[in-house]
Every structure is written in structure tokens, then in C-alpha cells.
Amino acid sequence: MKNRLSLILTALSISMFTNIATPVIAATDTTDHYDEFRAQRFFNKIKKFNEKLNKCLNNKTELAIHKFKADSKSTARKSGNLKIYWTTFIKRINYLKNDQIEVYVTDEFKTLPHRKRVQIIESVQQLALSYLDDFKAVTPSRYSEGLATTVFCDGNYLGRSLFLDNKDFKWND
């Protein structure tokens, strides 16, 4: 009986000490928001870079259209001299933070042969790299490799550069 009583008292004392209410204190926000601030600042830099790049693209397109004047719908004439008219096939370029670019093209671009498409996209890559050199250092080997590129037309995926060779493309048509 004595053992039983001591066992009950021990159990009660243990349960009383463990059931003591602990005060809950509200946690204060002591995190350092430096990483969020840094990410936001980097996002703003990329946004400004894209605006500058697309402004240059629009200026080049206006100059090409001004030279072309006569029949701006003639894809054959434009594709005959891509050094001047390549910008007329491009709507917008979007640089992504992981050194990739998205290129938005016109419907005329889809009528071009694959070889001419590649020439145009390589010109876009070189334009992006030349502006990227001001944004962050670009090595000479990077110029020869190009940037990973994804091509869209009217919101639809049209093609992309291959994984290990940014100068070779896989088209989706």
C-alpha cells in the first residue's frame, strides 16, 4: 500500500510540474531584409536593362523601316538583306536573370527558312551581349557562345537554342 501511495504521489508531482503553463511571448520580426532588398534591386536593374535593350531594338527597327520605305510587307526583300532588316522580324527581347533571353518575333519570322532564322537570332544574341557588357562583364568566349535563347511568336513557343550549343536551334514547326 505504501508503494502504491508513493507511486501515485510521484506520478502526481511529475504531472503537476510538467503541466505548468509557460507564458507565450509574441515573436518579434528580427529578420534582416537585406536579401529581399538586394533581390529587388537586382530585379530593377534587369528591368532597366530590358528597357534600354528594347529601346535600342526599336531605334534600329525604325531606321530599317525608314530605309525600306516602299513595301514593308515584302518578306523576300527583307530576308534578302538581313544585315539591315533583321530587326523588323523582332518584336521584343527579354533578358532573364539566369543569362537567358526570350525573343518575341513577328509572324513573318515563321515564313523564313531555318538558316535565316538562325542568323536573326544570332544577331539578337550579339545585340543583347553588347548591352550586357555594360550591365556585367562578358568574356570574349561568351560572345562566341551566345546566350541561351527561347523564341516565341504570338505567345506560342516557336523554338529554342540547344542545351550545350546556343548557336544551334530546335524549331517547333
What pLDDT, in 10s, does the model give residues 9-33?
Answer: 777 677 666 655 556 565 565 566 7
Q: Which residues does residue 100 pair with via DSSP β-bridges, in sequence order? A: 96, 148
Full domain range(s) for residue 73:
38-169
pTM: 0.73
Residues 6+ apart with CB under 8 A from 96: 46, 102
Quick check: is 10 in a domain? no
Helix (H) or strand (E) holding 83: helix 82-85
Question: Is residue 28 one of the residues assigned to a domain?
Answer: no
Cα dihedral value 60, 61, 63, 69, nearest 10: 160
Q: In what order do the strands lie in the sheet with 169-171?
A: 90-96, 100-105, 148-153, 156-161, 169-171
Q: What is the pLDDT of residues 55-97, one digit of tens each?
A: 999 998 888 887 776 555 566 666 677 777 888 899 999 999 8
pLDDT at 35: 83
Q: Is residue 8 part of a domain?
A: no
Q: What is the mean pLDDT of residues 106-132?
A: 91
Rounded distance between C-alpha atoms, residue 64 and residue 163, angstroms: 32
* Domain count across the chain: 1
62 domain residue, yes or no: yes
- DSSP for residue 86: G
For residue 50, which of 117, 100, 108, 120 has the smallest C-alpha distance? Answer: 100
Whether residue 29 lies inside any domain: the answer is: no
Query: Would residue 61 count as lying in a domain?
Result: yes
